[in-house]
Every structure is written in structure tokens, then in C-alpha cells.
């Protein structure tokens, strides 16, 4: 099984590139951001809790996202593999993911990080905010909070995979196709 963690700060292009990777390698795409937004759209209790935090640019509690991923792994027992987009975002989530993989007799193949400067991230997210309707994309302070959450809680997750010798990074600035080509080279070398 090919199980990839696509990593990077908010707006790095994880969602954009995951869609292309999913097609090429026939993987199931699991984006915790998308799963949470769908809970919000359905008006579930989980969605209501998540909405307040997401609108402020803060992370939702670990147990919420871990539970969602656990469920998605269970309902896809015959998958070729998974691309995890926006998950894990904390070391506790990374540890839980390893356990879930083990329970399913598989493992994470590798983490690939998209490297993008803060200036570029802010510009991309504000631009997306003009059309996405996402409250977390529409204000510089909220974007700064998200980048701060990333730096304080998420960036260290890279070390978790580095210590397992499963970490690679690619430059996430430039043409979307060129970045995709670099990612596929990194995936093929896993």
C-alpha cells in the first residue's frame, strides 16, 4: 500500500496537489479540512464545535480529527492506499495515525513537505478568500493565526517523520505542474 502524508503550512498547495496525486496513483484522498467542512455543511454537532475554531484559524481537538480518519480507514478496507492532506497536524495525531496504520496491517510510506514562504502563503489565501467564501481565508489576522498554529504545533511533526527516515521536501513555489512533477519523483523514490 502507498500511504503518503502531504505536509505544509496553510495554503502551501496540499489540496491542489493531493487531487492530482490521487488520480495518478489511484489513492483515497483524506483531507481533514474537507471532512470538517462537510460536517459543518451538514450541521452536525461535531461541525458546530469545529466551525468556531476553524473560523478563528485554530486547530480542532486531536480526538475529533483522529476519530474521523479512523472511520474513513475502516470504510475503505480495499484501498490501494491513502493520501493524507492536512493530517497529521500535531505529534499526537502522528502517533495515532501510526497506530491506526498498524491496526490495518500497513504503514506510512513517507511524508512529503511543500516549502512555501509566509508572504506567498498569505497572498494565495487572501486571493482564495475572494471566491471561496471560507471565513478563515478572508482576513490577514486569521491567516496569521493559522500560520502561527502551524509553526507552534504542526512544524514539529516533520521531525517525527525525519526520525523514522520518512521525510522529503520539495519547493512549493512555481507552476502547479512543475511542483506535481517534483512530487511524483519524490513519491516514486519512496
Residue pair 39/47 in contact (Cβ under 8 Å)? The answer is: yes
Query: Torsion over CA of 187, 105, 76 and 185, rounded to 10 degrees?
Result: 0
Q: Is 128 a residue of the active site? A: no
Residue pair 67/75 in contact (Cβ under 8 Å)? The answer is: no
What DSSP element (H or E) covers 69? helix 62-74
47 binds ligand B4P (CB under 6 A): no
153 binds ligand B4P (CB under 6 A): no
Nearest-angstrom CA–CA distance, 21 and 29: 9
Closer CB to ligand B4P, 66 or 79, in the complex = 66
128 binds ligand B4P (CB under 6 A): yes
Q: Which residues contact 154 (CB under 8 A, 6 or more apart)?
A: 9, 59, 89, 90
Q: Is 134 a residue of the active site? A: yes
124 binds ligand B4P (CB under 6 A): yes
> Out of 22, 146, 168, 182, which one is annotated catalytic?
146
Residue pair 166/110 in contact (Cβ under 8 Å)? The answer is: yes
Q: Is 14 a residue of the active site? A: yes
Interface with ligand B4P by CB under 6 A: which range of 22-30, 58-66, 72-80, 159-167?
58-66
110 binds ligand B4P (CB under 6 A): no
Min CB(92)–ligand B4P separation in Å: 10
89 binds ligand B4P (CB under 6 A): yes
3-state DSSP call for residue 58?
coil
Closer CB to ligand B4P, 33 or 110, in the complex = 33
> Out of 51, 128, 134, 166, which one is annotated catalytic?
134
Nearest-angstrom CA–CA distance, 167 and 78: 26
Residues lying near ligand B4P in the complex (CB under 6 A): 8, 10-16, 32-33, 36, 53-54, 57-60, 65, 86-87, 89, 93, 124, 128, 136, 146, 176, 179
Amino acid at each position: 500500500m502507498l500511504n503518503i502524508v502531504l505536509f505544509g503550512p496553510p495554503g502551501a498547495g496540499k489540496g491542489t496537489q493531493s487531487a492530482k496525486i490521487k488520480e495518478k496513483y489511484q489513492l483515497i484522498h483524506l483531507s481533514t479540512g474537507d471532512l470538517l467542512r462537510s460536517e459543518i455543511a451538514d450541521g452536525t454537532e461535531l461541525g458546530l464545535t469545529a466551525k468556531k475554531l476553524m473560523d478563528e484559524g485554530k486547530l480542532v481537538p486531536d480526538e475529533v480529527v483522529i476519530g474521523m480518519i479512523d472511520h474513513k480507514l475502516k470504510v475503505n478496507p480495499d484501498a490501494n492506499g491513502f493520501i493524507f492532506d492536512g493530517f497529521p497536524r500535531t505529534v499526537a495525531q502522528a502517533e495515532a495515525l501510526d497506530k491506526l496504520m498498524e491496526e490495518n496491517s500497513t504503514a506510512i510510506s513517507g511524508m512529503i513537505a511543500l516549502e512555501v514562504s509566509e508572504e506567498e502563503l498569505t497572498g494565495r489565501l487572501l486571493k482564495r478568500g475572494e471566491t471561496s467564501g471560507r471565513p478563515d481565508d478572508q482576513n490577514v489576522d486569521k491567516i496569521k493565526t493559522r500560520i502561527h498554529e502551524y509553526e507552534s504545533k504542526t512544524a514539529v511533526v516533520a521531525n517525527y517523520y525525519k526520525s523514522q527516515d520518512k521525510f522529503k521536501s520539495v519547493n512549493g513555489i512555481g507552476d502547479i505542474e512543475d511542483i506535481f512533477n517534483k512530487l511524483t519523483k519524490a513519491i516514486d523514490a519512496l
